[in-house]
Structure 1
Amino acid sequence: MKTFDPQAMYSEWMSQLVNQDKWQEWMKPAATMNPMPAADMLKDLGAQIDQATMTRLQTEYMQEFGKLWQDFAISKIPDLNDRRFSAPDWHNHAMHSYSAASYLLNARFLMAMAESVQAPIKTKQKIGFAVQQMIDAMSPANFLVTNPEAQSKLIESKGESLAKGITQMLADMQKGRISQTDESAFEVGKNVATSAGTVVYENRLFQLIQYQPTTKTVHQRPLLMVPPCINKFYILDLQPENSVVRYAVDQGHTVFLVSWANPDESMAEVSWNDYIEDGAIQAIKVVQKISKQDKINTFGFCVGGTIVSTALSVLAARGEHPASSLTLLTTLLDFTQTGVLDVFVDEMQVKMREQTIGSRGILPGKDLASTFSSLRANDLVWNYVQSNYLKGEAPPPFDLLYWNADSTNLPGPMFCWYLRNTYLENKLKQPGALTVAGSKVDLGKIDAPCFVYGSREDHIVPWQAAYASTALLNPRHKNRNRFVLGASGHIAGVVNPPAKKKRSYWTNEQTGLDSESWLASATEHPGSWWPEWSAFLAEHGGKMVKIPTIPGNADFPAIEAAPGRYVKVRAD
């Protein structure tokens, strides 16, 4: 079976799409089509479909296509139940309605084919992802010649929309990525990442920020936040009204936060061991020394949670237990269920990475950004192709999308170790299977109450996978683990401040159940889960004491104001 290479396949599909003959093939009934890219791909991947199943799918398809053709013949507008075709322009002309309807019909047929292949589960998942990518790319909304909205805009603007769209497309080609927001509207430290604080420590891997208190007294034990190193930290500090950092400070916590460096060639040999020893463990020790507390509250978001959990396990193997509590937000410790990212991980793809950057090198941030965008291509790619290029509309300012575009590089050795030992071989959950920073890793040895959060619609860390952490932590004392499930996805579920009174969350004191049983007996609550987390932190924060008079101390004096230099280094 050939190696699954989404980028190569994506390029091939795009070259086919600009071919008018290929587009005409797409518009024909599937039974009369010549072999399509999807069929070729299925064959290349060694997948087969039972002939009886294929015959049934073709029969059902032809019946639906016949009805669609009859409706078109009498100018009956079909029902287009898809938000890409919700504008009136798609419904005001039979030809455009037929174009969209036939596309949707063909899309359903191709996905039914993908779901019917006889192949191992992982191969089937890759096939489904690849077919969905092709389907998304081939939408008539993505082409000027078949997009009536863009055509109307072109006429109304007397060609100005197309000229502007081409200008924006050329600018994006220069940048190497699609603009999702007006990036000129934001500046780190000016209107994002604005919480007041001071950098009190730095090494080549990170800066440590200590935030300024906003209360008269604070909890005795500080809170150390470890964000993911694959993104900038300020997803936790976007605007004052939706800042996780600001919320924690306002609840009376002395907050420290790791701001990871954006690696360049000088960090091309940095390993996972370095991120644990010189990153998370060093941050823990500095916070202990500044606060004069042996116990601190620890916090990790996404990969940051994997890093801080590994660090605490390494320290446990050394006989140290610095965590008063551990908070994990949308974090993978058990990599059995990795959602759609699983399609990018197999032995051949990991080996390829190891051969190119495994001993020395840098994984460009734009590569990671492209991968994550492909997971939601309609929302994060084609939506902007239509608005920015076909219609010539300038993307509006949006802080979250500005952060999303502010990508971060990764050291090759670190990334390859992480890819193989977690996503591919799932060794982190196995006690003693990994040696990190000279110590055997056993997550069950972390001696701290744990607050674990998952987002119900998360496509990067499925909530069931986040819940699986409760089986690994405190294995002999399950009552020390708390799991909370929030609505929405990987980011929106986390960044959900109470003041907005949006969404909902679920709680269940029993964490010894399987995930579906947990949810079945869970209680739903309106609004944000943040107050639940705040109560947990307060329980493990110690008594209230006077606020620190100055940030840092004599050994760790102020270096510069937050958000510091490191976060301002761009990957592009």
Structure 2
Amino acid sequence: MTEKTEDKGGTGQEFPGFDPKSVEAYMVRDPHALAMNVARALENLGKAASEWLKPRESGEIVDSAADPMTDLVKTLSKVTEYWISDPKRTLEAQTLLFSSYMGIWMRSLSRFSGQPVELAPEMLPNDKRFADPDWVKNPFFAFLKQVYLVTASWAEKLVSDAEGLDEHTRHKAAFYVKQITSALSPVNFALTNPEVYRETIATSGANLVAGMKMLAEDIAAGGGELRLRHTDATKFAIGHNLALTPGKVIAQSDICEILQYEPSTETVLKRPLMIVPPWINKFYILDLNPQKSFIKWCVDRGHTVFVISWVNPDERHARKDWESYMREGIDFALTTIEKATGEKQVNAVGYCVGGTLLAATLAYHAKQKNRRIASATFLTTQVDFTHAGDLKVFVDEEQIAAIEKQMDAAGFLEGSKMATAFNMLRASELIWPYVVNNYLRGQEPPPFDLLYWNSDSTRMAAANHAYYLRNCYLSNNLSKGEMKLGGKLVSLKDIKIPVYNLATREDHIAPPKSVFLGSSLFGGPVDFVLTGSGHIAGVVNPPDKQKYQYWTGGKVKGDFEDWFAKAEESKGSWWPHWHQWIEAKDDAQVPARKPGGSALNAIADAPGTYVLARI
């Protein structure tokens, strides 16, 4: 069977074209060397297990009921209960799966006999996990792939067809099933991944030795928890090849440092720019390097840029709540900016949860007749959490209560917990490819600044995080006008200043539908802008890269889909469009300002000290 038979089904999937010589790459050539390396790999795996057990035996780590696995079992048991409670439904589910398996078996036999077979569309997914040619050419791996895809599809159908589930439970069940099927993909195991299998044979198992050594190192680095490496962290250092825009720390509070950047133009816009980044990650995503830096780009366009750099909290910050972050963060920054520049009004930018805090602060300011912020830009910010995406899977009364209990004991939520949750949202991109490449293939990931930043996790102060989860994700109080700050209810309708509201089309954290819905809640003029790509790449998109596109349109009303259908598309970055929007509000210029002005002395060079704390 060495001649390629014409594929009359048009799929290019027939086995008569299978060359038996291709299995030579799967034949063991040096059994002794392979056996020795497997033994070494198992020894390294034992070290990994020891690193995992050590802190648990000493009591440093106590695995709690807040673990997602507990909720997974409870949620999926409700789906299982539906299907097994009626024998007829049980039989239907089993028959559906069995008939699918029989279809795969019959198609496989037909191919071996040389008959043309056309696969169903679901058997030919555009899935880069199965990019290796042997997922098609090799009968064993082709059969395995089809069985996996059919089983995964069947499991998802069980959730979608189960009756009597409330919306939240169905959402959680669908999410957890996707996590399970992603984890059980044949791509993730050495003997069922053709690429790993061939590499194991070619290196006599040396790849597994290196991979298990890396696994032990990553568990040790995580203090007993797996800290999955996404990049070569040794190639990066904050202040050396990351966060390089020149500036000074000109003020400091318990929860933040205020950075002001050196001007690069002779004159600057009279109205300063204040950036409120999320505290869930560090601010230097906006200043990765000079080519990608939104901060540097703004400085070069004549903005006097101030940035809040949040502290990486520990037990001392346990009682720092949402209001503390408002007063000791945003209000502290506004006071600092006025001292440094003499200006009483600023343009404010809030990113992600930093934008949510900014919106709540603006609503509170409106109650106080405080007009220190003249315009607000929100980047991938949710103020209404009705359509908040898969993060809502982790938020219900039971799970929040468990997280609060955990935080009360420590005074904070470990950054690794949030990092794991975010990675689970994109497990097929941020978890399993790295498991395969790192631990099965034994390959060090290449240096990548964005993934270094992504791994530079921060803790969450207990009171602040609990307030955020309950008031935003659980009760959606900000959108309802039921959030209480300073003893008063605040309403987004009271925010009358101009708003530039940016969403990203592929955002898995702040879905564009959610951002769009929130746009209608502000009381003043809103320019809603949609950009290509996701939560990070859509925002950090320098104009000279000529990547992606953005959409602008009319008033924010009706459904997001209707708005998008009528929106005007423009190529490239949204940055120049935003800058024009800012200048249209006030383009008055003044001589360039030095950090701190005459009133404040520099405490440290940018990027400051708070950003350097690692966990």
2:603 counterpart residue number = 559
1:269 deviation in Å? 1.9
- Taking only aligned residues, the RMSD between alpha carbons, in angstroms, comes to 2.3
How many residue pairs align between the two structures?
Answer: 537
- Indicate the SS of the match to 1:242: coil
Following superposition, the deviation at residue 52 of structure 1 comes to 7.4
**Partner SS, residue 260 of structure 2:** strand
CA distance in structure 1 between the aligned counterparts of 2:395 and 2:76, rounded to whole angstroms: 23
2:512 aligned partner: 463
Deviation, structure 1 residue 359:
8.9
Relative distance call for 1:408 and 1:417 in structure 2 (3 A) is same
* Number of the residue aligned with 1:345: 395
Q: Check if 1:161 corresponds to 2:207.
A: yes
CA apart distance, 1:340: 0.5
Cα shift at 1:372 = 0.7
Name the counterpart of 2:563: 518
For residues 377-430 of structure 1, the C-alpha deviation after alignment (integer angstroms, 9 at most, x for no partner) is 111111111110111111011111100000000111111111111110111122
Partner of 1:310: 360
Q: Return closer, same or farther for 1:221/1:349 CA change in 2, 3 Å cut-off.
A: same
Paired position in structure 2 for 1:366: 416
**Kept in 1: contact 2:232–2:447 (CA 8 A):** yes
Unaligned runs of at least 5 residues, structure 1: 13-36
C-alpha separation between the residues in 1 aligned to 2:409 and 2:67? 22
Whole-Å Cα distance in 2 between the matches of residues 204 and 465 of structure 1?
33
How far apart, CA to CA, are the structure 1 residues paired with 2:196 and 2:406?
A: 42
- 1:138 aligned partner: 184
Q: Tell me, yes or no, if structure 1 residue 297 matches structure 2 residue 362.
A: no
1:6 and 2:55 are equivalent in the alignment: no
| Matched letter for residue 452 of structure 1 | N
- 2:527 aligned with 1:489, yes or no? no
Q: 2:321 aligns with which of 271, 286, 295?
A: 271
Deviation at 1:147, TM superposition (A): 1.6
- Residues 229 and 146 of structure 1, relative CA distance in 2, 3 Å threshold: same
Kept in 1, the 8 Å contact 2:529–2:551? The answer is yes
Judge which range, 559-568 or 243-252, deviates more: 243-252
Q: Is the 8 A contact 2:316 2:411 kept in 1?
A: no
Report the identity percentage: 38
Give the structure 1 partner of residue 288 of structure 2: 238
Matches within 5 A, 1:396-407: 396-407=446-457
Distance 2:406 2:201 in 1: 49
Give 1:70-81 correspondences, 5 Å limit: 70-74=106-110, 80-81=124-125
Question: C-alpha separation between the residues in 1 aligned to 2:181 and 2:583?
Answer: 49
1:526, distance to aligned residue in structure 2 (A): 1.5
Write the distance in 2 (CA, Å) between the matches of 1:230 and 1:48.
42
Q: Amino acid of the residue matched to residue 187 of structure 2?
A: A
- Residues 38 and 439 (structure 1), Cα distance of their counterparts in 2 relative to 1, 3 Å cut: closer
Measure, in 1, the Cα distance between the counterparts of 2:340 and 2:140.
Answer: 69
For 1:454-484, what per-residue CA distance to the aligned partner results, in whole angstroms no more than 9, with x for missing partners?
A: 011111111011112221112xx4xx21000
**How far apart, CA to CA, are the structure 2 residues paired with 1:533 and 1:410?**
31
SS of alignment partner, residue 429 of structure 1: helix
The answer on 1:437 being equivalent to 2:473 is no
Do the aligned partners of 2:501 and 2:529 also contact (CA within 8 Å) in 1?
A: yes
- How far is the alpha carbon of 1:344 from its aligned partner? 0.6
1: CA distance, partners of 2:294 / 2:420 = 26
Q: Is the 8 A contact 2:84 2:90 kept in 1?
A: no
Residues of 2 paired with 1:74 and 1:110: CA distance?
27
Contact (CA 8 Å) 1:48, 1:117: kept in 2 or not? no
The verdict on how the C-alpha distance between 1:308 and 1:524 changes in structure 2, with shifts beyond 3 A counting, is same
Residue of structure 2 in register with 1:27 after alignment: none
Give, in angstroms, the shift of residue 357 of structure 1. 2.6
Distance 1:51 1:122 in 2: 26
Post-superposition offset of 1:157: 2.0
Q: Deviations over 1:510-551 (max 9, x none)?
A: 223332221121111111111111111112344011101x31
Q: What secondary structure, in the 3-state scheme, does the structure 1 residue paired with 2:291 have? A: helix
**1:506 to 1:407, Cα distance in 2 relative to 1, 3 A:** same
Which one-letter code corresponds to 1:500 in the other structure? Answer: K
2:431 maps to which of 381, 385, 394: 381
Task: State whether residues 79 and 158 of structure 2, in contact with CA within 8 Å, keep that contact through their aligned partners in structure 1.
Answer: no
- 1:243-292: CA deviation from partner (whole Å, max 9, x where unpaired): 11111111110100000000012212211111111111111121122221
CA distance in 1, matches of 2:75, 2:588: 63
Aligned in 2, Cα 1:87/1:452: closer, same or farther, shift over 3 Å?
same
Query: Secondary structure at the residue paired with 2:503?
Result: strand
Please identify, of 141-150 and 253-262, the stretch whose mean Cα deviation from structure 2 is larger. 141-150
How far does residue 50 in structure 1 lie from its aligned partner after superposition? 8.3
Name the residue aligned to 1:43.
80
Q: Which one-letter code corresponds to 1:234 in the other structure? A: Y
Q: Secondary structure at the match of 2:391?
A: helix
User: Which deviates more, 413-422 or 310-319?
Assistant: 310-319
Tell me the secondary structure at the aligned position of residue 431 of structure 2: helix
Q: CA deviation at 1:144?
A: 1.3
- TM-score for the superposition, normalised by structure 2: 0.83
Structure 2 counterpart of 1:287, from 337, 341, 344: 337
Counterpart AA for 1:565 = T
Paired amino acid for 2:242? V
TM-score by length of 1: 0.89
Aligned to 1:173: 219
